[in-house]
Chain A
């Protein structure tokens, strides 16, 4: 699976949109971009995933660049409960390759 690069940490004011970038310049055509987050001392929580089109759900939006080499996770109105480590993961669609490989992620702190 392609590697990802994320900033180590970010701050965002409560109520503002949090934009978390992720670089995945070696992504291949059959690889999806997944986002998970982990609140302190809990198991990771699935947020969203996408292949090449932008995606939106009740939690967030995922914007993938046209060349697919980078993406941005957007939390539209950040709350204090969004403070967590956010992981961007690239995952192959090949049969049998189900593993999620976690990098170091971005520690997002929401400031009151």
Chain B
């Protein structure tokens, strides 16, 4: 099946610094990728939709200047958490869909990145 990877799997950073998380589709091209955030014992919340070659679409309440998304190629999207604070500590998960497939199709999820801000 299709594989989505994320890097790093875990990261600890100090308050005020920025952290970049990568999401890669390994064996398919993805014009659209999605970024989710999951707090402990809660469900996944969609943060933004990342579109290759254009600006990301953010969900209501998600600060676009704080969570910078870049989808520069058909296999890579990055999420940068700028000026991170302890409340940004969470499990960040990306997903992607194969550009060749038409609806209905499944989205493939990455393994997640656990961010801890100290």
Q: Name the contact of A104 in the complex, choosing from B43, B91, B109 (C-beta under 8 A).
A: B43
CB distance from A70 to the nearest CB of B (A): 19
Q: Which of A12-20, A38-46, A60-68, A74-82 contacts B (4 or more CB under 8 A)?
A: A38-46
Are B104 and A44 closer than 8 Å at their CB atoms? no
Q: By DSSP majority rule, is chain A's interface helix, strand, loop, or mixed?
A: loop
Chain B interface residue count, CB cutoff 8 Å, equals 24
Q: Is A2 an interface residue (CB 8 A)?
A: no
Chain A positions 84 through 112: 1 when the CB is less than 8 Å from some CB of chain B, otherwise 0: 00010001010100111111110000000
CB distance from A56 to the nearest CB of B (A): 16
CB distance from A24 to the nearest CB of B (A): 15
Are A99 and B49 closer than 8 Å at their CB atoms? yes
Chain A 21-72 interface residues, beta-carbon cutoff 8 Å to B? 32, 34, 36, 38, 41-46, 49, 51
Q: By DSSP majority rule, is chain B's interface helix, strand, loop, or mixed?
A: strand
Q: Is B108 an interface residue (CB 8 A)?
A: yes
- B binding-site residues for A, Cβ under 8 Å: 4, 6, 32, 34, 36, 43-46, 49, 91, 93, 95, 97, 103-104, 106-112, 114
Nearest 9 CB-CB pairs, A to B?
A: A43-B109, A46-B106, A102-B44, A102-B43, A44-B109, A43-B93, A43-B112, A43-B111, A32-B104
- A binding-site residues for B, Cβ under 8 Å: 32, 34, 36, 38, 41-46, 49, 51, 87, 91, 93, 95, 98-105
